[in-house]
Structure 1
Amino acid sequence: MRVLLCPDKFAGTLPAPQVADAVAAGWREVAPGDDLLARPLSDGGPGFLDVLADALGGRRIPVPTVDPLGRPTAGEILLTDDGTTAWLEGAQACGLHLLDAGERDPKITTSYGLGVLVAAAVEAGARTVVLGLGGSGTNDGGAGMLTALGVTPLDGAGHALPYGGAALAGLESLDGAPRLRDVRLVAATDVDNPLLGLHGASNVFGPQKGADRADVLLLDAALERFAAVLERDLPGCPGGLGALPGGGAAGGLGAAVLALGGHCESGIGLVTRAIGLETMLDAVDLVITGEGSFDHQSLRGKVVAGVAGAARDRGLPCVVLAGQVSTGRREAGAAGVTDAYSLVEHFGGDQRGLVAAMERPAEGLQALGARLARQWSR
C-alpha cells in the first residue's frame, strides 16, 4: 500500500510535521511493510516556512524583527538556492500566537515586523517575495508593513500616525515611496475576503483577534479611509482596493500587497505546486490529510480542500483526520473526502474528549493511524 500523508497543522497543539509523524507511527504498528510518504502542508499560516524548507531546501536566513506590539522576536526568510525567490511567514511577526489573551487588541497591533522581513528579502536579492498570510493578530491593513518599507502614514499635521488599525481613521496622506526595487510580491492566503464591509477583514476576523462590536465598526471605517488614501497617493495602487478578493487576508495585509502591485494566490495552491504534490498523488493509493477543525471553512481554500479536490480528480480515496469534525458527510463527499475522523470522538466525544484531544493529540492521531491501517492496508 502506498500512502501519502499531507496534513496541515493542528492549530494550538501540533505542527504539521508532528501530525504526519504520529499518524505514520500508528500505521506502521499495523502495516510496517507499507510505503508511507509524509509531505506536511500549509496554506500560508503558521508552519508555512517549515513545510517549504522541508520540501524545497534552500537557505534559511535569520532576521531579527518585532511582534505585533513592537517587541523583539525572531524571524527568518527562506531563500531558494538560485536566490530569486524568498518565502516569508507572516505569522512569525504578526501572529496571534505571539500575544497573550489579554494583549489581543487589533486597534493597536501592527504589521511592522512583516515589513522588516520583506525588506530583508529585498536586500538578499530576491526578485519575487512570497508572503504566507494567516494566523495574524493585526488589523492595520498592512500600514505597519508599508511603514517598514518606506511609506509612512501621516495625520493632518504631517506627523506619523501611531501604529495599529484604529489610528488610520486620522490618516490624511502618505510620505515616502516603497523601497522594493521592482520586486514582485505574492500573498499566499487561504481566504478571498475583501478588505472592507460585512465580509471584510474587520467584521469577519476582527473578533478572533480581540475586537468587540464597537472596535469592528471603528476598524472597518479606519480601513476604508486607509484604502481611499492608498488609491489616491500610492502610485500603481489599483482602484476599488477595498473590494478586491484577498484584500482582507491577515487583517488587510492582502490589500497592502495589492496596493504595492502584487497579487494574491491560494496558499495551498502555491505550496502544492512548489513541492510537486500533483506528481506524488499520481503514485499513491490513499491520501490522508487533516487539520485542527474540519468545518465549513475547511472547504474554502484550505489544505484539506486542496488535497481532497486533487485526490477526487484522480479517483483516489482521501481520509481526513481532525481535532473536531463539523462538516456534513454529503458536503465533505462532494469536495472529495471519503471519510473523516475526529480526535474528540476518538477520546469519547464529550467535554473530556475535547480536553484529551487538546492535551494528547499525538496519542490520538497514532491510534487513528493504526485504525486506518486496519481498514485500508492490503
Structure 2
Amino acid sequence: MKVVIAIDSLKGSLSSIEAGKAIKEGILRAINAEVVIKPLADGGEGTTEAFVEGFGGEYISVDVTGPLGKPVKATYGYLKESKTAIMEMAAASGITLVDPREKNPMKATSYGVGEMIKDAIKKGCRQFILGIGGSATNDGGIGMLAALGFEFLDSKGKAVSYDGEGLAHITSIKTDKVLKELRECKFKIACDVNNPLYGPNGATYVFGPQKGVTNEMKEILDNGMKNYAKVTKLFMKNDYAKEPGAGAAGGLGFACISYLNATLEPGISLILDAINLENDLKDADYVITGEGRLDYQTSMGKAPIGVAKLAKKYNCKVIALAGSVTKDAIKCNEEGIDAYFSILTQVVSLKEAMDKEIARSNIIQTTEQIFKLIKTIKEK
C-alpha cells in the first residue's frame, strides 16, 4: 500500500511537514505501508515555511524598506540546490506591517519586495515563486521594479516617488540600470484574483479600501494606474492592463507580467506543480490531505480540494483531516474528498486544541484508527 500525505498547515499549531510526520506515524502504527510526505500550501501565508521544511531549504532574513519607508526584516526561503527562492510579498510590503491608524496608500511602496528579490539574485537564485497576497500597497509594483533598477521618470526627467502618488507623474521609463541577472530569472506568481489593473473592478476600487483608499483617493489612484499602463505599453511594448490578475496586490501582478516576464497562476496549481505531487499520485492508493478548519470555503478550491482533484485523476481514495469540521464541509465530498474527520478526541478549549503536542497526539491517534479500519477491511 502506498499513501501520499499532502496536508496544509494547521495554522497556529502544526506546520504542513509537522502534521505530515504525525500522520505518517499514525499510519505506520496501524499498517505496513510506503508513505510519502509532501509540503503543502496555497501560495499565501505558510508557503515559505512549507517549502523550506519540505525540501531542506533555509530561511534568509534581510533588512528591507517597509511599506511606509521604515526598515523591516523580511524572511524568504532559499533552496540552494535548485537555486529557488520562495517569497511572500507580505513579508516586505504586507498590510500587517502597517499600523491601521497609519495606512497611507498614496505613499505605500513595494520597494522592499524588490530588495528581497535582489538579495536572492545575489545569492544565486534564478527561480522564483512569489505569493502576492496581503499587500499594503497600491503602487502598481513600481517600488519593486525601482529596487531592481527600472527608472520611472516624470516630464522633467526626474524619478517619480515610488508609491501610489507617483503613478500619475510617469512619462518615461529607463531600463539601462536594470539588474542584468533578471534576464536569467523565471518568476511564477501565486495569484488567486482575476481583477484587471484599473477600472471599477481594478486594484484601487476593489482592494484599495482595505488599504486605506478613501473615496477622494480612488479616482486619483485609478487615473495613475491608467497612466502607468499607458507609458508601460509605449516603452515595454506590451499591454497587460486587462490581464486577469494584473490588479492583484495593488498592481504588483501587472508589474510582474509586464516587466519580469512572469506567469500568474492560481496558488494551489502553482504549488502542486512545484512539489511534483502528480508524480507521486500515479501509483498511490490513499491520499491524506486537510487543513486547520474544513468548511464550505475549503470546497471552493482551497489547497485540500486541489490535492483531491489531482488524486482523483489516478483514482486515489482521499481522506481529509482537520482541527475542526463544520456542517457545510459536506460540500467537500462533492469535490473529491471521500471522507473527512476531525482530529479532536475530546472537548477542550481552543487554546488546548491548538497546543502543538496535543494536536500532534490527536492527529496520530485519529490516523492510527482510520488505518486500523482500512487494514481490517483489506484482510476480510
Instruction: Quickly name the TM-score band, shorter chain normalised.
Output: 0.7 to 0.9
Seen in structure 2, the aligned counterparts of structure 1 residues 54 and 141 have a Cα distance that, compared at 3 Å, is same
**Native 8 Å contact 1:106 1:139 kept in 2:** yes
Q: Distance in 2 between matches of 1:140 and 1:80?
A: 32
Aligned length: 367
Q: Distance in 1 between matches of 2:31 and 2:277?
A: 24
Q: Distance in 1 between matches of 2:353 and 2:212?
A: 22
Seen in structure 2, the aligned counterparts of structure 1 residues 169 and 133 have a Cα distance that, compared at 3 Å, is closer
**Native 8 Å contact 2:52 2:79 kept in 1:** no
Query: Partner residue of 2:264?
Result: 264
Q: Counterparts of 1:1-378 in structure 2 under 5 Å?
A: 2-11=2-11, 14-21=14-21, 23=23, 27=26, 31=30, 36-57=35-56, 62-70=61-69, 71-76=71-76, 78-81=78-81, 83=83, 85-155=84-154, 158-165=157-164, 167-168=165-166, 170-177=168-175, 178-181=178-181, 182-194=183-195, 195-209=197-211, 211=213, 219-233=221-235, 235-236=236-237, 238-239=238-239, 241-260=240-259, 261-292=261-292, 294=294, 298=298, 302-322=302-322, 328=328, 331-341=331-341, 355-356=350-351, 360=355, 363-364=358-359, 366-367=361-362, 370-377=365-372, 378=375
**Native 8 Å contact 2:191 2:264 kept in 1:** no
**Native 8 Å contact 1:190 1:300 kept in 2:** no
Q: Which amino acid aligns with 1:146?
A: L
Alpha-carbon deviation of 1:111?
1.4
Seen in structure 2, the aligned counterparts of structure 1 residues 55 and 292 have a Cα distance that, compared at 3 Å, is closer
Q: Distance in 2 between matches of 1:47 and 1:372?
A: 23
Q: Deviations for 1:140-186, whole angstroms, at most 9, x for unmatched residues?
A: 22121011012233455554444433x14533324431334423442
Seen in structure 2, the aligned counterparts of structure 1 residues 290 and 148 have a Cα distance that, compared at 3 Å, is same
Alpha-carbon deviation of 1:215?
5.7
Q: Which amino acid aligns with 2:230?
A: A
Q: Which amino acid aligns with 1:227?
A: A
**Native 8 Å contact 2:57 2:77 kept in 1:** no
Which region of structure 1 is more displaced relative to structure 2, 272-281 or 287-296?
287-296
Q: Which amino acid aligns with 1:191?
A: D
Alpha-carbon deviation of 1:304?
2.2
Give the TM-score normalised by the residue count of structure 1: 0.77
Q: Distance in 2 between matches of 1:339 and 1:103?
A: 46
Q: Distance in 2 between matches of 1:221 and 1:292?
A: 41
Alpha-carbon deviation of 1:53?
3.3
Give the TM-score normalised by the residue count of structure 2: 0.77
Alpha-carbon deviation of 1:230?
2.0
State the superposition RMSD in angstroms. Answer: 3.9
Name the SS for the 2:241 alignment partner: helix
Q: Percent of counterpart pairs with the same letter? A: 32
Alpha-carbon deviation of 1:59?
6.8
Seen in structure 2, the aligned counterparts of structure 1 residues 205 and 296 have a Cα distance that, compared at 3 Å, is farther
